[in-house]
């Protein structure tokens, strides 16, 4: 391996447990070995992923959170003895790889429990909750330290009782004991972290209690302390207990986070309190701190999208290590180079990586073998690992995605989906022509070739990548550009011929048994006087120098908002005009992504006109009708339109044609790649 990465491949200890290297599989909701939002069971799909990661040289693996009380129903995890017998068999197999495993246990969600309208109704209505209680346990799952606004829905959570606290503490001890008996190397308490239930107790803006669990510093941290004391009493002082920990909350208010570099008043855990807290938590028995930043009100710190800087939590985590003797792990868009340097300098003890393992479970092995160019990069899109969606204002979770099937990957359909998506050799080898060399076309060709087909790509331009070249052009999208390079390399390594500068007008003329159309989509255009002055989004992204200082962006979807963000980074003055009642009002866009951009625009005073219609484009202005019906003139030396796309498929009269990518229906990268597999597996 490269010398710069050597510090990552040195041993370290948590208590008496020695771990072979400094790379940790970060816990992610959806990779829980005991199920996630469904009734608790041993999850074989999660086990398959985790074992693959262990075989590919991760030092410590931490599956996603296991609620000590079943989310669906009222069963305590420790009562399911069969599941722990299955866990024991799995741990024995995992230990054969040389990796260690900690099981992460959670007290619950509190006000962070994701709720749609029907679930919010259950949680807020005792009669309905009682009727549904054999299946859903919403009133219990949403209980918080005090009556608080739910993060997602317009309901107020109830205060959890002291008896319920005692039950949870007992459950942690019993569950940890069963994990220890199954051969697990340690447990992780989830968490004084990200605004989950235990964290809500520690945070003054969430904890208004007047009993022994509220008020003073010691009282606010009492719940977390009682848990570690219970685990140690049941499992012995030598049994390692890690704590998932947010160093600083980065929170300005309910549903309002602070973006990097913003001056704000912290209402959650400050760095000053954190310095005290890590000492206190060490004294009370914790053996490791697994750290990042944020709460669900500032969600993008714990689940950073591409807009967040790489290694975004490292500075704060390195600071906190000065105040504790415990091993400290850092997560949050960590790069191997920065992680190795921080470990070498004693700033942290290990690097936690989550989503990159979903995209490429073998990335550590490839790093060790000096094959970095073969690592498929995570682009932090959250389109499948975390597709919790919020739109139409802060008040309503109209669609919060498929929470029971999180930790999939937009770029790698095989992840947590291996029974559906897998490479199977074709029974009959065919000649397949792929028309279009964008992401959809390249992925289809790659999978077809791996299955044994003879594949050719026909691309009308001089390079592979399609519209994703423009999408990846922003400075902060370095991983998107790495993804394009990865695809080009895979096409070359597989020996797939590419006919460049070849536009196919008649698919029937091709020498092929089957034809795949991947010709993408075309931008929608405005039809009004002055529209010819406007730049299309792709034109701007490929050449940002075309934009002046005062830019009006017509269309507040994801692309329009990212363009506004680009312009802000360049010191320019964008304004956004959107017809809907919220920005980025689309499904399958994670709140971690959209809330960052919303909070960034607020912090940087970017004008946003919602429920507004463009009525005219002049030489140096744009005229709109705002949501009140008033006419407003916006100064503009540049106008950029981002009002969506429409499919542009080719047709064949003689041969069977399969559509992939946006030419079959405009979507996102997940829909493009998963559709490519759907098609390529059927040929």
The Cα–Cα gap between 434 and 235 comes to 59
From the list 450, 364, 330, the residue with the least C-alpha distance to 58 is 364
- What ranges make up the beta strands (E) of 430-513? 431-435, 454-458, 498-499
Pairing state between β 454-458 and 498-499 = parallel
The Cα–Cα gap between 303 and 291 comes to 12
Ranges of each domain in the chain = 3-405, 431-522+646-680, 525-643
Given this model, what pLDDT does residue 399 score? Answer: 40
Q: Which residues of 127-136 are buried (b: 16+ CB within 10 A; e: fewer)?
A: ebbeebeeeb
Residues with Cβ within 8 Å of 95's Cβ and at least 6 positions away in sequence, in order, are: 101, 183
**What are the CA-CA distances from residue 603 to residues 271, 565, 595 (Å)?**
21, 12, 12
What are the residue ranges of helices labelled H in 294-438? 314-321, 336-344, 355-359, 363-368
Given this model, what pLDDT does residue 391 score? Answer: 36
Q: What is the pLDDT of residues 598-626, one digit of tens each?
A: 999 999 999 999 999 999 999 999 999 99
Q: What is the pLDDT of residues 151-186, one digit of tens each?
A: 988 889 999 999 999 999 999 999 999 999 999 999
Q: Are 438 and 459 in contact (CB under 8 A)?
A: no
Instruction: Say which of 5, 140, 196, 296 is annotated catalytic.
Output: 196
Given this model, what pLDDT does residue 655 score? Answer: 76
Given this model, what pLDDT does residue 326 score? Answer: 98
Tokens of 205: 């803006």
Q: Is 458 a residue of the active site?
A: no
The Cα–Cα gap between 459 and 437 comes to 5
CATH label, 525-643, candidates 3.30.450.40, 3.50.50.60, 3.40.50.300, 3.40.50.10800 = 3.50.50.60
The Cα–Cα gap between 483 and 521 comes to 20
Low-confidence residues of the chain: pLDDT under 50: 389-402
Q: State which fold the 431-522+646-680 domain adopts.
A: Rossmann fold (3.40.50)
The Cα–Cα gap between 417 and 425 comes to 18
In order, the DSSP letters of 263-294 are: -----S--HHHHHHHHHHHHHTT--EEEEE--
Tokens of 642: 């981002």
* SS3 (DSSP) at 590: strand
Q: Which residues of 559-571 are buried (b: 16+ CB within 10 A; e: fewer)?
A: bbbbbbbbbbeee
**What are the CA-CA distances from residue 266 to residues 258, 259, 272, 292, 610 (Å)?**
9, 12, 11, 16, 29
From the list 589, 584, 191, the residue with the least C-alpha distance to 393 is 584
The Cα–Cα gap between 339 and 355 comes to 16
Residue 398 CA, distance from chain mean position: 19
- H-helix or E-strand spanning residue 23: strand 23-25
Q: State which fold the 3-405 domain adopts.
A: TIM Barrel (3.20.20)
Given this model, what pLDDT does residue 401 score? Answer: 44
Whole-model pTM: value is 0.94
Given this model, what pLDDT does residue 396 score? Answer: 36
The Cα–Cα gap between 142 and 157 comes to 6
Mean pLDDT of the chain: 92
Given this model, what pLDDT does residue 392 score? Answer: 34
Given this model, what pLDDT does residue 132 score? Answer: 54
In order, the DSSP letters of 225-276 are: HHHHHHHHHHH-TTS-EEEEEES---EEETTEE--TT------S--HHHHHH
């Amino acid at each position: 391996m490269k010398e710069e990465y050597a510090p990552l491949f040195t041993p370290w200890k948590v208590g008496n447990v020695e771990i072979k290297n400094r790379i940790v599989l970060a816990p992610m909701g959806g990779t829980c070995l005991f199920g996630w939002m469904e009734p608790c069971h041993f999850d074989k799909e999660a086990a398959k992923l985790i074992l693959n990661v262990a075989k590919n040289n991760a030092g410590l693996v931490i599956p996603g959170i296991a609620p000590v009380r079943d989310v669906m129903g009222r069963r305590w995890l420790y009562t399911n003895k069969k599941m722990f017998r299955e866990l024991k068999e799995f741990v024995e197999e995992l230990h054969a790889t040389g990796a260690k495993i900690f099981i992460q246990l959670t007290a619950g969600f509190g006000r962070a429990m994701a709720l749609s309208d029907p679930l919010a109704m259950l949680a807020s209505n005792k009669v309905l909750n009682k009727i549904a209680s054999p299946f859903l346990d919403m009133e219990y799952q949403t209980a918080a330290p005090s009556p608080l606004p739910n993060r997602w829905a317009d309901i107020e959570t109830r205060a959890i009782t002291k008896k319920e606290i005692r039950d949870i503490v007992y459950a942690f001890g019993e569950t940890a004991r069963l994990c220890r008996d199954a051969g697990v190397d340690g447990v992780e308490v989830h968490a004084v972290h990200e605004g989950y239930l235990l964290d809500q107790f520690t945070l003054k803006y969430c904890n208004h209690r007047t009993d022994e669990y509220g008020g003073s510093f010691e009282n606010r941290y009492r719940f977390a302390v009682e848990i570690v004391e219970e685990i140690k009493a049941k499992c012995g002082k030598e049994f390692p207990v890690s704590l998932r920990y947010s160093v600083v909350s980065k929170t300005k208010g309910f549903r309002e986070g602070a973006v990097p570099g913003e001056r704000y008043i912290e209402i959650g855990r400050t760095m000053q309190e954190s310095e005290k807290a890590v000492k206190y938590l060490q004294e009370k028995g914790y053996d490791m701190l697994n750290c990042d930043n944020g709460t669900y009100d500032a969600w993008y710190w714990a689940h950073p999208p591409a807009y967040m800087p790489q290694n975004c939590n490292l500075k704060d985590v390195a600071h906190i290590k000065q105040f504790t003797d415990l091993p400290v792990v850092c997560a949050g868009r960590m790069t191997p180079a920065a992680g190795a340097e921080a470990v070498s300098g004693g700033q942290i003890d290990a690097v936690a990586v989550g989503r990159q393992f979903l995209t490429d479970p073998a990335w550590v092995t490839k790093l060790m073998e000096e094959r970095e160019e073969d690592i498929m990069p995570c682009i932090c899109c959250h389109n499948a690992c975390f597709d919790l969606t919020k739109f139409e204002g802060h008040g309503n979770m109209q669609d919060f995605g498929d929470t029971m099937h999180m930790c999939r990957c937009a770029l790698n359909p095989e992840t947590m989906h291996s029974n559906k998506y897998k490479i199977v050799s074709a029974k009959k080898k065919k000649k397949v022509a792929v028309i279009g060399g964008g992401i959809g076309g390249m992925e289809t060709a790659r999978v077809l070739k791996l299955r044994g087909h003879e594949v050719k790509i026909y691309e009308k331009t001089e390079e592979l990548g399609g519209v994703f070249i423009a999408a990846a052009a922003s400075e902060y999208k370095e991983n998107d550009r790495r993804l394009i390079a990865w695809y080009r390399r895979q096409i070359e390594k597989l020996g797939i011929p590419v006919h460049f500068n070849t536009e196919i007008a008649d698919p029937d003329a091709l020498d092929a048994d089957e034809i795949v159309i991947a010709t993408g989509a075309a931008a929608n255009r405005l039809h009004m006087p002055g529209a010819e002055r406007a730049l299309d989004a792709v034109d701007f992204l490929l050449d940002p120098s075309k934009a002046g200082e005062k830019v009006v962006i017509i269309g507040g979807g994801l692309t329009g908002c990212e363009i506004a963000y680009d312009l802000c980074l360049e010191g320019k003055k964008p304004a956004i005009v959107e017809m809907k009642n919220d920005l980025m009002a689309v499904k399958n866009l994670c709140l971690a992504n959209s809330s960052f951009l919303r909070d960034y625009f607020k912090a940087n005073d970017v004008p946003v006109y919602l429920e507004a219609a463009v009525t005219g484009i002049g030489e140096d202005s744009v005229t709109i009708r705002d949501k009140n019906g008033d006419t407003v003139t916006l100064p503009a030396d540049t106008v950029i339109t981002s009002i969506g796309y429409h499919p542009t498929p080719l047709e064949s009269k003689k041969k069977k044609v399969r559509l992939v990518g946006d030419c079959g229906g405009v979507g996102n990268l997940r829909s493009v790649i998963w559709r490519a597999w759907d098609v390529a597996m059927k040929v």
